[in-house]
Every structure is written in structure tokens, then in C-alpha cells.
């Protein structure tokens, strides 16, 4: 678990404020909405990503907690379908990474792993960057 979390942190973009986190999440939401999601599996993956984006916005950043039950309910799908979407679409294509599996009443810890270079934003870069 430590190596997984360390790798996620070392390859992630440092966010200086909650406002900046919301900008990154908005850009990520825009990217998810403009990505072509083909077929039923793709549309289901989009619903799961929207659920995770909602959880991330509540948490205030790319790192968030969500149980299978919460995510399935938010996306309007079964837990079996949710697991299939994670394994066949979202994890392999680099959208989400589970850093820690939840137990009991505690949800899993998730992190959006889409590389920052893939984010589109209307914000101009800060001076000196």
C-alpha cells in the first residue's frame, strides 16, 4: 500500500489550494464529458467517473474515498457491473487508481490518475511556469 501511495504522490500534480483543486477537477470533468464513450460499457464508465468526480469535489481534490455501494448507487448500476467497469475500462485506461481497499464502513481510497498534460483548462499558466 505504501509503495502504491508513494508512486501516486510522486507522479501527481501538487495543488496549492482548494480553488486550484476545483479547477483541476473541472478540467477533468470537461475531459470526461468530451471523451468518446462508445457502447454500453463506455456509457457506464462515464457514469462511474461522474460519481467519482462528485466524491472528489466533496473531498476537495483528486484523492477521495468511496465504497462500492456508494459508487454503484451514485452511478445507478449494480456492484457487479461497477467492478467490471473498474477492471476493464477505468483502471486500464488510467482514469482511476485505488490506493487502499476499504473495509467495513470505510470506503476505498481513490485517486484520479489521468496525467495533468491531458487536462484542458481555460486558465492561463501562472507567471514563471
Q: Tens-of-pLDDT digits for all 129 residues of the chain?
A: 445 444 544 444 555 567 788 898 999 999 999 989 999 999 999 999 999 999 999 999 999 999 999 999 999 999 999 999 999 999 888 899 999 999 988 899 999 987 444 444 333 333 443
Cα–Cα distance, 48 to 90 (Å, whole number): 9
DSSP bridge pairs for 110? 64, 98
Which of 45, 51, 111, 112 minimizes the C-alpha distance to 81? Answer: 45
Global pTM value: 0.75
Amino acid at each position: 500500500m505504501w509503495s502504491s501511495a508513494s508512486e501516486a504522490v510522486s507522479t501527481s500534480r501538487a495543488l496549492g489550494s482548494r480553488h486550484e483543486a476545483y479547477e483541476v477537477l473541472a478540467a477533468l470533468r470537461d475531459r470526461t464529458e468530451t471523451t468518446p464513450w462508445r457502447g454500453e460499457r463506455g456509457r457506464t464508465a462515464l457514469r462511474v467517473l461522474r460519481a467519482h468526480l462528485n466524491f472528489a469535489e466533496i473531498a476537495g481534490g483528486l484523492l477521495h474515498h468511496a465504497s462500492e455501494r456508494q459508487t454503484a448507487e451514485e452511478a445507478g448500476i449494480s456492484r457487479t457491473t461497477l467492478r467490471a467497469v473498474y477492471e476493464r475500462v477505468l483502471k486500464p485506461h488510467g482514469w482511476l487508481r485505488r490506493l487502499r481497499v476499504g473495509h467495513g464502513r470505510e470506503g476505498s481510497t481513490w485517486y484520479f490518475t489521468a496525467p495533468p498534460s491531458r487536462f484542458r483548462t481555460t486558465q492561463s499558466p501562472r507567471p514563471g511556469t
